[in-house]
Structure 1
Amino acid sequence: MNKTLLTVLLTTALLLSASAHAAGAYIGANVGSAEHKLSIDGDSGKEHKTGVKLYGGYALTENFGIEAGYAHLGKVSDSDTDGVNTASLDYRARALYIAGTAALPLSPEFSVFAKAGLTANHGKVTARLNGFSDSMSRSNTTAMFGIGAEYSFAKNVSVVAEYENFGKVIDENEGNTKAQMVSVGLRYKF
């Protein structure tokens, strides 16, 4: 009798702990700091702007899944004037990605995860000089990766913190731009 009761209690505890990391669909939204690294003719610089991300995925098992998302990586602007001439430059970046995910539950509420996949990046640069403007738009498909942690504070809702590297957004002979983002957000599991 005691062995049966102990077996039932252990089985129930295992099933309840696995339910927080069970298979199924999810959606989420994050906000964070997007870092843009610009390299032109040997010179480089970094800018940090606010980025946002919307995504959805499906956990095939408690450890493996697939995720797709859209990240708006912010807008970088700069202007200069010498009293006669006024010049300005705007740069915008975004990414669409699909990735495989791997999660490691450390407790019923807390897990760490990693992702790797492909991202279709798009960057647009607009330059203005004394009222005249010109723009350039480029797309680049490259590998992406990310790592993060998830804490489930309610039955279907969790808070997520993650780092993602989207690789090169613009890749030209004269220079390139790279983007990465550190963000936090909420995830809802169906």
Structure 2
Amino acid sequence: MKESYFFAYGSLVNRNTHQYADCSLARLHGWRRVWRHTNLRPIAYLTVEPDPCCEVDGLIAHVPNGDWSTLDYRESAYDRINIKHVISHPKLETINVAMYSLPNDKHSQPTGEQPVLLSYIDTVVQGYNREFGERGVENFFNTTSGWTAPILDDRQRPIYPRHQKLSPRETALIDANLRRIGNTPVNLSKGDSATWLGACA
């Protein structure tokens, strides 16, 4: 029986957000990350869409006993799809690899009412910095579309439930790349935190 693995291209790249220990660097071919909004969630999230000219770095991680229930619950807005034929990884044995993606009929462009959370970007980019270094962070921004989406600066009062504490160097790295792509996060208004926390619970 082939072992099951998932491919991480967003927050799951940050190993502090999950307990899957058997992780390896991997590359997805023919896809691109993109920010999207889904009516199943109150804020914008990352997904991937086909792009024959793009490659996405990330991690593969072993799913013990093929038990997807925990991941399926965490990624409940997404569909789990098989990608074993479009991914490169260091495993010598033949494995089954799946990833989570928002299908076209379940998402749309982010809006001011469904922004991207800076605490979510922080978590994702911290993971990429630890796995791929500063060049990998730059590549993350370059291989992700949808950066015209509004970004809500909730860094001081994080809304994203798996947010991580950043070092000053990590903070500066993320802010520098946001400036490079021309997106300035909008500050979280007083009183909004409780509203968004309730919506994201």
In the superposition, the TM-score normalised over structure 1's length comes to 0.18
More helix by share: 2
More strand by share: 1
Structure number with higher relative contact order (C-alpha < 8 Å, ≥ 6 residues apart)? 2
Structure number with larger C-alpha Rg: 1
In the superposition, the TM-score normalised over structure 2's length comes to 0.17
